[in-house]
Amino acid sequence: MIPYSESNLVYRNRDAIERQQGDTRGFFPDERPIDLHMRLGVINLDKPAGPTSHDVVSMVKRILGIKKAGHSGTLDPQVSGLLPIALSDGTRILQTLLQLPKTYVCNMQVRNSEIDVNWEDFLQTFVGEIYQFPPLESNVVRKLRKRHIYEIRHLDELNNQVLFSVTCESGTYIRTLCEDLGRAAGCGAFMKELRRTQTATFSEEDRVTLHDLFDAWMDYKELGKEEGIRRVVRPIERMVTHLREVIVDVSAIRSVCHGTALGVQGVLAYSEGINAGETVAAKSPKGELIGIGEALVDEIVEGNVFKIQKVVMSRELYA
């Protein structure tokens, strides 16, 4: 399967794409040899409450016996939920996920139950731009910050606890949000429990636990079974599905990997709506991620159109 959407691609040479998919070099992302698959993999990990995000990354490295891995955004120790972890070469593009919106389910405890609040309506007053001071226990400078709340949904209420989901800009402090909600409502409130249910394009539908990872890795190491580890470790292309794309002619891939700007003659297809300065994913005709970089023009008509910034593909793969 080619991990790019043909529905929004503008083709400059469809025949070349189909022809170059038969090139003996390179691999479709789901068909990479297992060692390359593990170097260019990402795990949609379901972090348990208790360990720090750093602890969880260390556990992943110990299980897989690798030296390099990284997560896409810290979760506090007591918070559970999705913590995508990139492996080895995949860590080079982690920044593509760091600034994307995230969704949480929060259980908020109300301090003063005698004050009647219609929480379903009141929550909506916090949708849009808000201002926050980071919590005292955070490790960042405590200065006023502006954040965006995209959506809040009231889910349930029981025993002075309000359950709601919130989709927000990266860097929003849900603990502070609960305190601000309680202060504004006049009843006081604090965050009791929190779970992250979505980060960027990663959702709970295919989440993986540390136990899943350990079992799959043991099946591979002891029995030679690859199915489990391929299920829990997904191709790195999963991390860039939110980006627009440029499909690069195989004759230009090696020079792009070495930092040469991509000219229009090396573009076989591209996503509609690309803007100059936008972060774009460069891919081979087989859908392999070459790397991410900057679009140089609004219209791919002539001249140089793309400049690589982070390379994940081996420079020798298409030698």
Distance CA 134, CA 50 (A): 21
Point out the residues that are catalytic.
Answer: 76
Instruction: Please list, in sequence order, all residues whose beta carbon lies within 8 angstroms of the beta carbon of residue 205, skipping any fewer than 6 positions away.
Output: none
In sequence order, the β-bridge partners of residue 128 are 149
Q: What are the CA-CA distances from residue 121 to residues 13, 51, 169, 179, 253 (Å)? A: 53, 35, 21, 17, 53
The tokens describing 107, both together, are 């259980």
The tokens describing 148, both together, are 């965006």
Contact at 8 Å (CB) between 257 and 313? yes
